């Protein structure tokens, strides 16, 4: 009997650590931030084909996340199995691109920290400074004029905007769970956006009252200290609403889920809380790890800009007047728009405009059945999504410098 050839391994047969060499490097933004990019450089393999070997792809996380949003499941592993060269950016203030790092580098290089370091940046800062610095950094490190871009949620929105101006820097773009019209088809988001200014004012008013109370208490203690001839207490620092402590909230949620799993009744309730995450579409251990490790504080200004976009039905860079939506029609590179069909943030309604406007020859617009917002980068259907990415990259590789010929893909 003729011996069968050895079976080519699948991604499940391979250890994640066998697929890459991990390094990190720093890119500097034009306004003084040092951002960290974590690189997963693929190891060349001999037992299976790597159809995308060496193709650089920049991954950009979403609102209040960090690099772990991409590695909490098997998203990066699947892309590395194909041979992609993965570069994960952490936006300013997130993960390794921390506020603490800016102070360390300021001291090391005898320079001032960034002007907006006290949680004083907005989405425009990400768009005007962080994304250009990261794209330039990946192009420089890999010696490529063009790279692939993949963004989740806010990272995808930033990708739409950048591609509308600089798609000559991209070989292709993938967005995952990234709306083009925020709040469209979602009444809860619209109500939240309308209430946003009032909620912010209420928090400011509450903190103002607390600061006045603390100031009065400090004054009383200072007078007593003077009468008793002892040192006056240090003046308390005013409380300010500068950021949302989402990392702390997510860790609390992770602990709550841990507790709920020990109680059958609570576990049943928890499994049905699926507004942004369908727990039946991902491993519970991965979800808890994501909640503990992938959260980050997000500036108040970022949240307020999102709410303003929803209220005004716009996506604007307010500092320059650039309209992301008008830029959609200038996107010509291969693009895949992927979202969960149960996602309240990115849906058919909220992604349709970019699909209709883009001039990409290869244009995939696809909902992933049974998925919401979180599990599209870490859930059970990640392999299917990664094959969509593989198809886009293969198309771009085989159609470099060719005239348009194929119709759109839907």
- 153-182: pLDDT as tens digits: 999 999 999 999 998 899 999 999 999 999
State the pLDDT at residue 204. Answer: 73
pLDDT at 406: 45
pLDDT band at 352 (very low <50, low <70, confident <90, very high): very high
Confidence of residue 228 (pLDDT cuts 50, 70, 90): confident
DSSP for residue 129: I
* Span 97-105, average pLDDT: 97
Q: Which range is least confidently modeled, 184-188, 261-265, 404-408? A: 404-408
Residue 221 has a pLDDT of 77
70 Cα distance to chain centroid = 9
Spatial contact of 74 and 68, defined as CB atoms under 8 Å apart: no
Contact 62, 154 (CB under 8 A): yes
Could you give the CA distance from residue 35 to residue 251 in angstroms, rounded to a whole number? 24
**Burial letters for 132-149: b for 16+ Cβ neighbours within 10 Å, e otherwise?**
bbbbebbbebbebebbbb
Output the pLDDT for position 361: 93
Higher pLDDT, 188 or 321: 321
Contacts of 132 (CB under 8 A, 6+ apart): 29, 30, 162, 166
pLDDT computed for residue 94 by the predictor: 98
State pLDDT tens for residues 184-204.
888 888 888 888 788 777 777
- The closest alpha carbon to 161, from 31, 60, 66, belongs to 60
State how beta strands 363-368 and 85-89 pair.
unpaired
Which comes out higher in pLDDT, residue 168 or 217? 168
Q: Give 9-43 pLDDT, tens digit per residue.
A: 899 999 999 999 999 999 999 999 999 999 999 99
Q: Given this model, what pLDDT does residue 236 score? A: 75
Q: Both tokens of residue 13?
A: 């047969």
**pLDDT computed for residue 283 by the predictor:** 76
Backbone dihedral region of 334: left (phi > 0), alpha (psi from -120 to 50 degrees) or beta? beta
Average pLDDT, the chain: 89
Q: Answer positive or negative: Cα dihedral of 93, 99, 102, 108.
A: negative
| Residue 61 near residue 282, CB atoms below 8 Å | no
Q: pLDDT tier at 407 (50, 70, 90 boundaries)?
A: very low
Q: In which band, very low, low, confident or very high, does the pLDDT at 209 lie, cut at 50, 70 and 90? A: confident
**Residues 323-329: what's their mean pLDDT?**
96
Torsion of CA 276, 336, 175, 21, to 10 degrees: 110
Could you please report the per-residue DSSP string of 334-399? -EEEEEETT-SSS-HHHHHHHHHH---SSEEEEEETT--SSGGGTSTTHHHHHHHHHHHHHHHHHT
48 has pLDDT over 50: yes
**CB-CB neighbours of 110 under 10 Å:** 6
* Fold type of domain 11-184+313-398: Rossmann fold (3.40.50)
Over residues 212-232, the mean pLDDT reads 75
Residues 357-391 have pLDDT tens digits of 999 999 999 999 999 998 999 989 999 999 999 99
Q: Which of 305, 329, 76 shows the shortest CA–CA distance to 193?
A: 305
**pLDDT for 22:** 97
Across the strands, what pairs with 22? Answer: 40
Per-residue pLDDT at 404: 47
**What is the reported pLDDT for 1?**
52
pLDDT the model gives residue 4: 60
Q: What's the rounded mean pLDDT across residues 227-237? A: 76
Q: What is the pTM of this model?
A: 0.90
Closest CA to 88 of 166, 158, 165, 25: 25
């Amino acid at each position: 009997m003729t011996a069968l050839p050895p079976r080519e391994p699948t991604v499940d047969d391979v250890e994640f650590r066998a697929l890459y060499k991990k390094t990190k490097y720093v890119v500097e933004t034009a306004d003084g931030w040092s951002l960290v990019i974590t690189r997963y450089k693929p190891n060349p393999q001999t037992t299976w084909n790597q159809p995308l070997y060496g193709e650089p792809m920049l991954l950009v996380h979403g609102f209040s996340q960090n690099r772990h949003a991409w590695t909490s499941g098997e998203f990066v592993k699947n892309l590395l199995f194909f041979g992609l060269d993965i570069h994960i950016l952490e936006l300013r203030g997130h993960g390794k691109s921390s506020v603490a790092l800016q102070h360390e580098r300021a001291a090391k290089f005898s320079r001032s920290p960034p002007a907006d370091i006290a949680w004083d940046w907005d989405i425009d800062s990400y768009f005007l400074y962080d994304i250009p610095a990261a794209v330039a950094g990946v192009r420089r490190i890999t010696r490529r004029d063009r790279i692939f871009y993949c963004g989740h949620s806010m990272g995808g929105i930033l990708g739409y905007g950048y591609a509308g101006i600089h798609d000559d820097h991209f070989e292709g773009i993938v967005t995952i769970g990234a709306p083009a019209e925020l709040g469209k088809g979602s009444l809860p988001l619209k109500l939240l956006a309308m209430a946003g200014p009032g909620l912010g004012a209420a928090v400011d008013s509450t903190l103002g009252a607390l600061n006045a109370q603390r100031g009065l208490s400090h004054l009383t203690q200072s007078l007593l200290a003077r009468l008793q001839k002892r040192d006056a207490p240090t003046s308390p620092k005013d409380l300010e609403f500068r950021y949302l402590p989402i990392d702390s909230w997510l860790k609390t949620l992770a602990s709550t889920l841990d507790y709920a799993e020990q109680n059958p009744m609570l576990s049943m309730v928890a499994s049905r809380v699926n507004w942004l995450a369908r727990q039946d579409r991902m491993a519970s251990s991965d979800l808890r790890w994501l909640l503990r490790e992938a959260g980050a504080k997000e500036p108040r200004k970022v949240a307020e800009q999102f709410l303003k976009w929803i209220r005004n039905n716009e996506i604007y860079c307010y500092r320059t007047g650039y309209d992301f939506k008008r830029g959609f029609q200038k996107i010509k590179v291969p693009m895949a728009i992927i979202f969960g069909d149960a996602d309240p943030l990115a849906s058919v309604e909220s992604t349709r405009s970019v699909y209709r406007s883009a001039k990409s020859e290869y244009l995939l617009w696809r909902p992933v059945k049974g998925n919401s917002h979180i599990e599209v980068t870490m859930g059970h259907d990640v392999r299917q999504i990664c094959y969509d990415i593989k198809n886009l990259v293969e198309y771009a590789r085989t159609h470099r410098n060719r005239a348009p010929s194929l119709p759109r893909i839907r």
